[in-house]
Copies of this chain bind each other. A is one copy, B any other.
């Protein structure tokens, strides 16, 4: 333990600058920058300094109160943000598995990651092997890569050469799906809505490893069916984060005994399936919620997965998600910090935005 962290541990009055809400509401209305006095860590706790934290759509829904997981309200309110990476800068005497300098991500719901410092029991954190990993990658490793990883692994026993179809392929999860599938030798059919810069987007997705990129508007075309056939294997897994017609469209391209996994509903339209495909093609529809997996999985399973994902990152298979960075600098006054956050928040709130908004802390 370094001298500076010892000092912090024994005699400090660290102030965390945090985006806090005192009640549910539109984040832009209820969130504001607050200074929170960090209390001295207990024996089983660590003090961490955040390095980077994204603003995810579910963070926003959580503050609105429309998400099944609620913020952790304390006397000063609730700090927003569920994902992020922090560095351990002090550890209590009974902390076993973490040491100063380790990188950690939250391993509990509603941690509150939009802040500069926090204390936490060590069992509510997950260690990330930081060697060769950027803070941007680490800050975005908790939700999207695991969602892609688990959906590709847990529903269908995929083999090399098998084919997966997904809509919302340009989403952060979509990008992870393309890259992890590519690393595992699985072909991906990637559906995105038409847009003025479609060719550019398709080219970006191909660079990530996409096998095919298809416009949602072309899902029902015969040419699409032929293209899918040309891959030589039936589509065994569909990943849906859109719902409505898009979900029906990708379902139509599935082979026998395929599974469609829903993990989002961006169109706000329900899922509609024909009765016939369920009965005669033996389709199966399920949902995936990363928070449930997190809650139910063992520490060992989580460590295994994150080690595996870190290996993919180190091996160059899984790039940082497309993002904008918002830097909180030490020299910024509180008004500036608040303003910077609100600008990033407003960009994060735009649906179907391709770029993740990430707050980084000097």
Residues of chain A touching chain B, judged by Cβ–Cβ distance below 8 Å, are 68, 243, 262-265, 270-289, 292
* A243 vs B282: C-alpha distance when bound (angstroms): 16
CB distance from A64 to the nearest CB of B (A): 15
CB-contact partner of A289 in B68, B263, B280, B292, under 8 A? B280
* A292 vs B273: C-alpha distance when bound (angstroms): 20
The reply to whether A273 and B289 contact each other, CB–CB distance below 8 Å, is no
The reply to whether A288 and B279 contact each other, CB–CB distance below 8 Å, is yes
The reply to whether B284 and A286 contact each other, CB–CB distance below 8 Å, is yes
The reply to whether B262 and A68 contact each other, CB–CB distance below 8 Å, is no
Chain B residues within an 8 Å CB radius of A277 = 287
Least CB separation from A263: chain B residue = B279
Chain B residues within an 8 Å CB radius of A282 = 286-287, 289, 292
9 cross-chain pairs, A with B, having the tightest CB-CB distances, nearest first:
A265-B275, A278-B287, A279-B287, A285-B285, A262-B278, A271-B273, A279-B289, A284-B286, A272-B272
CB-contact partner of A275 in B68, B271, B276, B286, under 8 A? B271
CB distance from A265 to the nearest CB of B (A): 3
* A284 vs B270: C-alpha distance when bound (angstroms): 15
CB distance from A359 to the nearest CB of B (A): 26
Least CB separation from A285: chain B residue = B285
Chain B residues within an 8 Å CB radius of A243 = 275
CB distance from A89 to the nearest CB of B (A): 36
* A273 vs B265: C-alpha distance when bound (angstroms): 11
Extra pairs beyond A68-B280, A271-B278, A281-B287 (12, CB < 8 Å): A262-B275, A265-B275, A271-B274, A271-B275, A272-B272, A278-B286, A279-B289, A280-B287, A282-B286, A282-B287, A282-B292, A283-B286
**Known contacts A284-B285, A286-B284, A276 near B272 by CB under 8 Å:** no
Least CB separation from A277: chain B residue = B287
* A293 vs B271: C-alpha distance when bound (angstroms): 27
Chain B residues within an 8 Å CB radius of A264 = 275, 279
Chain B residues within an 8 Å CB radius of A273 = 270-271, 273, 285
Q: Provide 8 A-B residue pairs closer than 8 Å at the C-beta atoms, listed in order of the A residue.
A: A243-B275, A265-B275, A273-B273, A275-B287, A279-B287, A281-B287, A282-B289, A284-B284
CB distance from A293 to the nearest CB of B (A): 10
Least CB separation from A291: chain B residue = B280
Chain B residues within an 8 Å CB radius of A271 = 272-275, 278
CB distance from A167 to the nearest CB of B (A): 12
* A282 vs B274: C-alpha distance when bound (angstroms): 20
Least CB separation from A276: chain B residue = B265
Chain B residues within an 8 Å CB radius of A275 = 243, 262, 264-265, 270-271, 287
Chain B residues within an 8 Å CB radius of A289 = 279-280, 282
